[in-house]
């Protein structure tokens, strides 16, 4: 039976995040031929509607208010609950991003509904597949009754093919946003070039073998060259070579980029849980017995300080040609 | 200050996972306090030491969970409460756990509730915000710092690598991110003292909850292991040749560049 599904679009610095399009694709799958309504929340966001139509949204609802310029759980919840009341959807899809993770349990709590978080794939039913134990195992979940509410992990569910010129109905909901109990006073951007680890297509990660904070420089250069992000193992973070926000593993972030280049990482179970579902893994390590080679598609046994600069040179040559 | 910590018992991060009879096999596995909840316990103890008051650690679990609660008491928490659902519930989900915790907390007049931002087993990160919503108090997730002056609370939270400074007020629920603090190990005197600290055990009945009140909204229909990844190719030759071959493979075979 076809369903109406509301999906949340997320933008950053005026541009839609990819996960917004992935959410539309997930919404289509759940809707089973029904309508997918994409929601845009912010202060001036209606200009982004066309791109949502191009990626398959049937309808776009905007909620615009100066108080929604920055995310707050209270403000966004008020906006979304108003849209949900108007649209009465049977399904709801958010990205499993910082925003989605923060907001979705509040909405589920308010609506007294189930919520399947961090979905990586959807089968007919719908049955939702999600990693548990940071990807050491997977579970298939169904929602027993009520709203079909999920968050999807970025980079896992492919967006629909873009169809320029596709259009649809845009409507706006006005909400009196009030009583915000948490206020953002300041934001310090740490992420390099805005490439976030959880959405990066390429990750260059360093472990204890990187030996120092400076040791991360060549890794960063390689990541920048490939339009990717830098990550790290717990060993490197514990040794203060880098910030904890870069940590990949069972404690830390779980990532699934197209290409993961592990430099000087031995491959502790807790690290591998965070990256072994990457599409292609390259390991560079001096120790030929290192565990990381067991999950690597390609391995180079050697000193990362020799190999990484050579890799940078080689990629530069390839890019020029 | 009246501080409550939400704690979960989880598999040790170094454990390998196997599936038996459709469930995760627990035989012989080491269990620990969920690492993110350890940050929560440590922060609660530090805030109590600074502002006075009491730290109560609460867990929804089974009899085995007593061990992790004792560890929390040995770290320095004052009281522990176990809501033992072993006999009452076969299946639980985040709705279930949040409902039980909120029911327990609703008349406790907590100033601050701290949990981990996610448990390393289920990995949903839902329970904290769900509890806050049910108690109708504000929450801030993935925090890396918290300062309390009177009723005003200043928090720094990690947002995908960015740091947001948030101003809010008590009562409040927060969830801990890595980097919040360095959790202490229980000291020997701490372990001795913990044996005498109160550890209350409750069941659903004691919270005036029926099984159907907390019946999960979702159902797990299958648990399985990912296909074992086959070891790939170790490249050979001198380093220059290996690097050239790697770049070539990434472009032409793997097609990721």
**CA B158, CA B177: separation in Å to the nearest integer?**
7
Of A225-229, B111-115, B156-160, B224-228, least confident by mean pLDDT is B224-228
Chain A residues whose CB is inside 8 A of the B147 CB are none
**Mean pLDDT score, B160-170:** 93
Mean pLDDT score of chain B: 95
d(CA A28, CA B8): 36
Q: Residue B62's pLDDT band (boundaries 50, 70, 90)?
A: very high
Q: In terms of domains, do A205 and A309 share one?
A: yes
Do the domain assignments include residue B70?
yes
Closest-CA residue to B226 (of A202, A29, A125, A134): A134
Q: Which residues pair with A39 in a beta bridge?
A: A8, A61
In a domain, B153, yes or no: yes
DSSP string covering A267-307, please? --HHHHHHHTTSSEEEEEES-TT-GGGGT-SEEEES-HHHH
Shared domain for B51 and B144, answered yes or no, is yes
| Chain B contact set for A131 (CB, 8 A) | 123
| Tokens 């928490």 found at | B77
pLDDT band at B96 (very low <50, low <70, confident <90, very high): very high
Parent domain of B248: 227-257
- Report d(CA A236, CA A259) in Å as an integer: 20
Give the rounded percent of residues in chain B with a pLDDT score beyond 90: 89
Q: Please report the sign of the dihedral spanned by the C-alpha atoms of residue A184, residue A189, residue A190, residue A195.
A: positive
**Type and span of the H or E element at A130:** strand A127-132
- Same domain, yes or no: A201 and A154: no
CB atoms < 10 A from the CB of A190, how many?
14
Q: Is residue A83 part of a domain?
A: yes
Same domain for B236 and B207?
A: no
Residues B202 and B234 occupy one common structural domain: no
Compute the distance between CA of residue A317 and CA of residue A308 in angstroms, rounded to an integer.
14
Q: Are B9 and B31 in contact (CB under 8 A)?
A: yes
Domain co-membership, A226 together with A123 = no
A158 & A254 share domain? no
Would you place residue A159 in the very low, low, confident or very high pLDDT band (cuts 50, 70, 90)? Answer: very high
Contact A269 B35 (CB under 8 A): no
In a domain, B221, yes or no: no
Residue from the list B16, B141, B222 with its beta carbon closest to the beta carbon of A140: B222
Same domain membership, residue B163 and residue B67:
yes
Q: Same domain for A117 and A209?
A: no
Contact yes or no for A6/A84 (Cβ under 8 A): yes
* Average of per-residue pLDDT across B63-67: 97
B121 and B39 in a common domain: yes
Q: Are A211 and A293 members of one domain? A: yes
Residue A12's pLDDT is what? 87
Q: How distant is the Cα of B196 from the closest Cα of chain A, in angstroms? A: 32
Asked whether the predicted pLDDT for residue B5 surpasses 70, the reply is yes
Q: Is B9 inside a domain boundary?
A: yes
Please give the pLDDT value at position A297: 96
Instruction: Give the pLDDT band (50/70/90) at residue A196.
Output: confident
Residue A23 CA to residue A158 CA, distance in Å, equals: 9
Task: Indicate the SS3 state at residue B125.
Answer: coil
Last residue of a domain, one of A172, A207, A236: A172
Q: How many domains does chain A have?
A: 2
Position A87 scores a pLDDT of 97
Is residue A211 a part of any domain in this protein? Answer: yes
Residue B113 lies in a domain: yes
Res. A252 pLDDT band, cuts 50 70 90:
confident
**Testing the interface with A: which of B13, B118, B136, B236 to mutate, by most A Cβ within 10 A?**
B13
pLDDT at position A17, please?
Answer: 94
Picking from A88, A23, A273, A116, the residue whose alpha carbon sits closest to that of residue B13 is A273
Same domain (yes/no): A65, A106: yes
Are residues A163 and A250 both part of a single domain? no
Give A137-149 pLDDT, tens digit per residue.
Answer: 999 999 998 999 9
Which residues of chain B make contact with A183, given a CB cutoff of 8 A? 166-168
Among A107-121, B118-132, B162-176, B220-234, where is mean pLDDT lowest? B220-234
Q: Are residues B201 and B239 in the same domain?
A: no
Could you report the per-residue pLDDT of B191-209, keeping only the tens digit for each? 999 999 999 999 999 999 9
Is B168 close to A182, i.e. CB distance below 8 A?
yes
pLDDT at residue A192, as a whole number? 55
ipTM of the complex: 0.93
CATH of the domain at A211: 3.40.50.1220
More confident residue, B230 or A310: A310
Confidence of residue B160 (pLDDT cuts 50, 70, 90): confident
Same domain, yes or no: B251 and B148: no
**Interface contact flag, B239 A183, Cβ < 8 Å:** no
Residue A112 with chain B: CB contacts under 8 Å: 95
Say whether pLDDT at A190 is over 80: no
Q: Say if residue B122 is in the same domain as residue B81.
A: yes
Quick one: B233 and B205 in the same domain? no
Euclidean distance between CA atoms B228 and B25, whole angstroms = 18
Residue indicated by tokens 């390099």: A192
Q: Which residues contact B176 (CB under 8 A, 6 or more apart)?
A: B36, B37, B39, B40, B43, B114, B115, B116, B117, B142, B143
Above 80 in pLDDT, residue A193? no
Q: How many domains does chain B have?
A: 2
- Answer yes or no: do A132 and A268 share one domain: no
With CB atoms and an 8 Å threshold, state whether A310 touches B133: no
Residues of B in contact with A277 (CB under 8 A): 226
- Say whether pLDDT at B123 is over 90: yes
Residue B81 Rama label (left phi>0; alpha psi -120 to 50; beta)? beta
For every residue of A156-190, DSSP letters joined together read TSPPPPP-TT---EEEE---------SEEEEEE--
A-B Cβ pairs (cutoff 8 Å, strict)? 259
CA A280 to chain centre: 18
Question: Rounded to whole angstroms, how far apart are CA atoms B216 and B31?
Answer: 24
Q: Average pLDDT over chain A, rounded to whole?
A: 94
Domain that holds residue A63: 5-172
Most A CBs within 10 Å, among B121, B228, B243, B253, to test the A interface = B243
Shared domain check, A201 and A151: no
Task: Please write down the HEC assignment for all residues of B194-245.
Answer: HCCCCEEEECHHHHCCCHHHHCCCEEEEEEECCCCCCCCEECCCCHHHHHHH
Q: Let me know whether A245 and A133 are in one domain.
A: no
* Residue B88 covered by a domain: yes
CB contacts of A118 in chain B (<8 Å) are 123-124
More confident residue, A245 or B106: B106
pLDDT at position A321 is 65
Q: Does residue A206 sit in the same domain as residue A270?
A: yes
- Tens digit of each residue's pLDDT (9 = 90 or more) over A10-22: 998 889 999 999 9
| DSSP H or E run through B155 | strand B152-159
Sorting pLDDT into bands at 50, 70 and 90, what band is B227? confident
The most confident of A48-57, A272-281, B22-31, by mean pLDDT: A48-57
pLDDT at B232: 86
Residue A137 within a domain: yes
**Minimal Cα distance from B159: which residue of A?**
A98
Q: Looking at the domain assignment, is residue A37 inside a domain?
A: yes
Average confidence (pLDDT) over B225-254: 91
CB atoms within 10 A of CB A113: 18
pTM reported for the whole predicted model:
0.91
**Residues B185, B191, B197, B201: is their CA dihedral positive or negative?**
positive
Q: What is the CATH number of the domain that holds A153?
A: 3.40.50.620
Q: How far is A32 from chain B (nearest CA, A)?
A: 20
Q: Are residues B247 and B142 in the same domain?
A: no
Tell me the HSE value of B226 on the side-chain side, using a 13 A CA sphere. 22
B208 shares a domain with B232? no
Confidence band, pLDDT 50/70/90 cuts, at residue B174: very high
Q: Is the Cα dihedral A35, A14, B168, B96 positive or negative?
A: positive
**Shared domain check, B250 and B202:** no
Residue B15 has a pLDDT of 84
Stretch (H or E) spanning A23: helix A18-31
């Amino acid at each position: 039976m076809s369903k109406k599904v509301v999906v949340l679009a997320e933008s950053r610095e005026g541009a839609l995040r990819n996960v917004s399009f992935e959410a539309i694709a997930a919404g289509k799958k759940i809707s089973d031929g029904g309508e997918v309504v994409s929601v845009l929340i912010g202060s001036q966001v209606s200009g982004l509607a066309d791109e949502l139509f191009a990626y398959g949204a049937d309808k776009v609802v905007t909620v615009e208010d100066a108080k929604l310029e920055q995310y707050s759980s209270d403000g966004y919840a008020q906006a979304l609950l108003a849209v949900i009341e108007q649209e009465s959807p049977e399904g709801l899809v958010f990205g499993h991003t910082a925003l989605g993770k923060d907001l979705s349990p509040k909405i589920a709590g308010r609506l007294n509904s189930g919520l399947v978080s961090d979905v990586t794939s959807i089968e007919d039913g719908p049955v939702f597949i999600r990693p548990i134990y940071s990807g050491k195992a997977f579970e298939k979940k169904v929602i027993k009754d009520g709203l079909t509410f999920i968050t999807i992990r970025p980079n896992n569910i492919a967006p629909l093919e873009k169809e320029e010129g596709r259009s649809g109905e845009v409507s706006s909901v006005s909400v009196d946003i009030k009583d915000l109990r948490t206020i953002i006073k300041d934001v310090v951007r740490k992420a390099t070039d805005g490439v976030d680890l959880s959405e990066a297509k390429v990750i260059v990660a360093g472990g204890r073998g990187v030996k120092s904070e400076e040791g991360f420089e060549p890794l960063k250069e390689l990541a920048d060259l490939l339009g990717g992000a830098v990550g790290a193992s717990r060993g490197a973070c514990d040794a203060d070579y880098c910030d904890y926000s870069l940590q990949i593993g069972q404690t830390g972030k779980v990532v699934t980029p197209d290409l993961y280049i592990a430099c000087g990482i031995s491959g502790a179970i807790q690290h591998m849980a965070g990256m072994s579902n990457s599409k292609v893994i390259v390991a560079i390590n001096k120790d030929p017995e290192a565990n990381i080679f067991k999950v690597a598609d390609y391995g180079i046994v050697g000193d990362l300080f020799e190999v990484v600069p050579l890799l940078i040179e080689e990629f530069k040559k390839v890019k020029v040609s | 200050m009246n501080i409550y910590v939400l704690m979960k018992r989880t598999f040790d991060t170094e454990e390998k996972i196997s599936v038996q009879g459709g469930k995760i096999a627990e035989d012989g596995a080491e269990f620990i306090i969920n690492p993110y909840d350890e940050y929560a316990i440590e922060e609660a103890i530090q805030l109590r030491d600074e502002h006075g008051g009491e730290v109560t650690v609460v867990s929804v679990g089974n009899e085995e969970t007593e061990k992790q609660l004792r560890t929390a008491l040995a770290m320095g928490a004052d009281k522990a409460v176990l809501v033992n659902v072993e006999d009452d519930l076969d299946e639980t989900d985040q709705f279930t756990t949040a409902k039980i915790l909120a029911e327990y907390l609703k008349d406790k007049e907590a100033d601050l509730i701290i949990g981990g931002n996610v448990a390393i087993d289920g990995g949903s990160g839902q329970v904290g915000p769900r509890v806050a919503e049910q108690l109708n108090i504000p929450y801030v997730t993935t925090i890396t710092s918290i300062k309390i002056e009177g009723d005003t609370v200043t928090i720094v939270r990690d947002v995908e690598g960015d740091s947001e400074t948030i101003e809010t007020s008590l009562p409040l629920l927060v969830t801990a991110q890595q980097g919040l603090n360095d959790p202490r190990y229980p000291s020997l005197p701490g372990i001795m003292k913990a044996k005498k600290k109160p550890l209350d055990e409750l069941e659903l009945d004691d919270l005036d909850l029926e099984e159907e009140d907390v019946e999960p909204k979702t159902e797990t229909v299958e648990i399985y292991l990912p296909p074992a990844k086959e070891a790939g190719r170790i490249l050979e030759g001198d380093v220059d040749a290996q690097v050239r071959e790697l770049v070539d493979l990434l472009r032409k075979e793997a097609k990721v560049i």
